[in-house]
Chain A
Amino acid sequence: MKKSGGRLPKGFDSDTLVKLEMESNPECLCLVRATIERASEVLHFQESETRAIVRSVDEALANVMRHAYKGAPGRPIEIICRRVRSPGNGREPVGIEILLHDRGAKADPKKLKGRPLDEIRPGGLGLHFIRESMDVVEFSRKNGKNQLRLLKYLYPAAHKVRSVGE
């Protein structure tokens, strides 16, 4: 499957499966994990891929809480989980797209690069987990709102993890 940058291939579209509004409270992360896990299963992702998707969303949310909101509780986060569908009569699901929105601080592009894994030290692994798991990882900001777009395709393909917005 060809993809052009982070955009969906021509003719593909996505529809919303579930939209969650939460606050920046780490205790709520398990609720989101459960929802994303179930959504991934419904779209027929394999177990290992489902774990990867759940992990990515969870790490991304943790980053929003820690960095965008600097640990402040009670701040709004929106999660939109969408089903990517193929063109044509079948409209088969071909992937999952997850959008995370927050109104926290703008991400520092230097910090979006992650760190070398040969250093054995705590911290800095979340972004690596996300990039290893998802096919598209896009950071953007508009009207004071951060957006992180994550996309994973169902079918094995020569996808390179693409990060945009660094």
Chain B
Amino acid sequence: MKIAARESKGSTIFDVSGDIDLAHSPEMRKALLGEIKEKKVPKVFLNLRDVRYIDSSGIASLVEGLKASRDVGSRLILFGLSTSVREVMQLSRLQKIFEIYDSEEQALAS
């Protein structure tokens, strides 16, 4: 898994690629929580367009990020979900809990 951060109008966009599994979800968790809790960025976007696989530990990291964002009054927004990632979100009954958009343009405009 690779994760790269870029800034857009005071928000952070994480571009994630590869597989978010037990081996790599801790890295994503650390990046997310660092941005939300420590840097207190008001909007954090996760670009998942190039994420081929996510497991329950990856979902747990997303949920932790969402909870942290709600605690500090910021927003965590996902976009570009693949079929595989959407399936896992639906299995977890989280597709209506997260803010999810198809494209970066839609996400940034939200």
Contacts and interface: CB of A to CB of B under 8 A. Distances in A.
B84 to A, nearest CB: 6
B56 A62 contact: yes
Interface string B76-91: 0000000010011001
B22 A125 contact: no
**By DSSP majority rule, is chain B's interface helix, strand, loop, or mixed?**
helix
A118 B96 CA distance: 12
A33 B55 CA distance: 11
B87 A29 contact: no
B93 A48 contact: no
Contacts of A30: 19, 21, 23
A122 B92 contact: no
Contact of A51 (B21, B84, B94): B84
Interface string A92-131: 0000000000000000000000000110111111101100
Interface stretch (B4-12, B36-44, B58-66): B58-66
B109 interface: no
B101 interface: no
A51 B57 contact: no
A85 interface: no
A59 B56 contact: yes
Interface residues of B, number: 23
B50 to A, nearest CB: 15
Size category of the A interface is 20 to 34
A147 B61 CA distance: 29
A132 B94 CA distance: 15
Interface of B: 19, 21-23, 53, 55-57, 59-61, 63-64, 66-67, 84, 87-88, 91-94, 97
30 contacts: A26-B21, A26-B22, A26-B23, A29-B22, A30-B21, A33-B19, A33-B21, A51-B87, A55-B55, A55-B88, A58-B53, A59-B56, A62-B21, A62-B56, A66-B22, A117-B93, A120-B63, A120-B66, A121-B63, A122-B63, A122-B64, A122-B67, A123-B56, A123-B60, A124-B56, A125-B56, A125-B60, A126-B55, A126-B56, A128-B91
